[in-house]
Amino acid sequence: MIVITGAAGFIGSVIVQKLNEKGIDDLVLVDDFTKQDKIPNHSDKKCRAKVSRDCFENWAQQNASKIDFIIHIGARTDTSEFDVEVFNKLNLNYSKMIWNIAVENAIPFIYASSAATYGMGEFGFEDSHEIIPQLKPLNPYGDSKNDFDKWVLSQTILPPFWAGFKFFNVYGPNEYHKNRMASVIYHAEKQIYENGFLRLFKSHNPNYEDGKQLRDFVYVMDLADVVLWFMEHPTNSGIYNLGTGIARSFLDLGLSTYKALGLQPKIEFVDTPIDIRDKYQYFTEANMSKLRSVGYKNEFFSLEEGIEHYVKNFLVRKRIY
């Protein structure tokens, strides 16, 4: 039996569907299932049971002997939330609780960290355990993810296998409910249809032209494939980057979205809001050598390929994966 937390969310629901496509349905889905806008993400998934996030600890204590693997994707991901206690409860302490269940019952454990832990990137983007204590995230969300990474690395009693993944800028189907926190590709397609043009942030850094700010955009299908690969190859515990290893510009993203829609591009540049301008990242790029070194050989979607697949198969059709 496999437990997936955050199973009604963006990334979690894609992982569930990938498992279903492999014929695996002995799954226990954990989330806040009262959220109406998440219902499409889980209503058609095949599983053994759905357990409320608030009831999971008690359920796990009673059923731990039946659990073969835990994939912990559930988290509060709102980077505009600044109540530290929210993140302490839902991200840090909830993750510690699940880790301890995995340790006490010798259950392999995968969890979602975040590239938000890297802050402005002043220490680079290498997934070395040694630099994690030095990292300076830019918001409480990033702090909560880095605090858990640091806590994990301080533990002396471990699950039989564990892996944390620093997700970079993830995009793809099943993110419809995320509203402001959905990917730029999601918002780009929506803007183009509603306004007839796309708005991107101007650069306020003399080293970058407007629209040439760079991010490592990773398609959720690739991300889910990496998670499933580690389930099948649980031999190299550690914290890993999960991006593509290739930084691309927001202008590239916008032009690719227009191309996937079959429309001529019309892009305007607007000032980056003052409240986020001093914390705006102009460059992120995952160092992927560690993931490759443990044997992961699959190629990632390029930005153009991923956007075309996402736009044509899901956004335009309003489809859930």
SS3 string, 204-244, reads: CCCCCCCCCCEECEEEHHHHHHHHHHHHHCCCCCEEEEECC
Q: Which of 136, 150, 178, 212 is catalytic?
A: 178
What six digits make up the tokens of 207? 């080293």
- Rounded Cα–Cα distance for residues 20 and 25 (Å): 6
| Beta strands in 20-176, from DSSP E residues, in sequence order | 27-31, 49-52, 69-72, 109-114, 162-167, 169-171
Q: Taking each helix axis from N to C terminus, what angle separates 250-261 and 184-195, rounded to the nearest 10 degrees?
A: 50
Is-catalytic flag, 296?
A: no
Q: Identify whether 141 is a catalytic site residue.
A: yes
**In angstroms, rounded to a whole number, what is the distance separating the alpha carbons of residues 125 and 77?**
20
Percent helix, strand and coil across the chain, each to the nearest 5: 45, 15, 40
Residue type, 204: H
Q: Which of 135, 64, 133 is nearest to 103 (CA)?
A: 64
- Written as one letter, the residue type at 2 is I
| Residue 152 amino acid letter | V
What is the C-alpha to C-alpha distance for residues 310 and 183, in angstroms, rounded to an integer? 12
Sheet holding 49-52, edge to edge: 49-52, 27-31, 2-5, 69-72, 109-114, 162-167, 238-242
Of the candidates 94, 111, 118, 141, the residue annotated as catalytic is 141
Rounded distance between C-alpha atoms, residue 289 and residue 28, angstroms: 33
Q: CA 191 to CA 187: how far, in whole Å?
A: 6
Please list the active-site residues. 141, 178
